[in-house]
Structure 1
Amino acid sequence: MVKPDQVEAMIKEQLPDAQIQVYTNDGEHYEAVVISAQFEGKNLVQQHQMVYAAVREAMDSNAIHALALKTYTPASWAAAGQPV
């Protein structure tokens, strides 16, 4: 079973500047909020592809069954009323 902090570390390896929050209820289905300046100029699909690339190996091996994502640039996170 992959722990949320391990998922966070995988994403952080690909997006070192990211602020990441990972949640799970059952150890197979995860939700992540990822805030990264590397998302600037990328559409939502491209942002998600960047995160999925970071966890691809764990998903391919079914260690992670599902990952729901919410991705933001620092500006879009702040615009949503959240502190950066």
Structure 2
Amino acid sequence: METEAVAQLIRAGIPNAEVQVSGDGSHFEALIVSEVFEGLTPIKRQRLVMETVKTQIASGELHALSIKTQTPAQHAGSGVC
């Protein structure tokens, strides 16, 4: 898979999210910033993101996805672009 394909899957499942993905074809890292994460526990945030790529994980097309989630307020204070 390409990084942009992974990003598009996440964006489709979490509309209006800011998504940055890096990786090498089967192992990816994603930073997702969305208001939807407000008030959710870290595990609920992870599950929400994993739901967007579950078909690709199940098929083996996507082997591993490391996820970092932030609300817009957390992102603004993180210094991460």
2: CA distance, partners of 1:31 / 1:72: 14
Alignment of 1:56-75 (within 5 A): 56-75=54-73
1: CA distance, partners of 2:46 / 2:74: 15
| Equivalent residue, structure 2, for 1:39 | 37
Shift of 1:34: 0.4
Secondary structure of 1:12's aligned partner: helix
| Equivalent residue, structure 2, for 1:18 | 17
Q: What count of residue pairs does the alignment treat as equivalent? A: 81
Read off the aligned partner of 1:21 and give its amino acid letter: Q
1: CA distance, partners of 2:34 / 2:67: 13
Where in structure 1 are there 5+ consecutive unaligned residues?
Answer: none
1: CA distance, partners of 2:43 / 2:68: 11
2: CA distance, partners of 1:69 / 1:13: 16
Secondary structure of 2:60's aligned partner: coil
Read off the aligned partner of 1:63 and give its amino acid letter: E
Secondary structure of 2:30's aligned partner: strand
Shift of 1:73: 0.3
Shift of 1:70: 0.6
TM-score normalized with structure 2 length: 0.94
Shift of 1:82: 3.9
Superposition RMSD on alpha carbons, in Å? Answer: 1.0
2: CA distance, partners of 1:63 / 1:47: 22
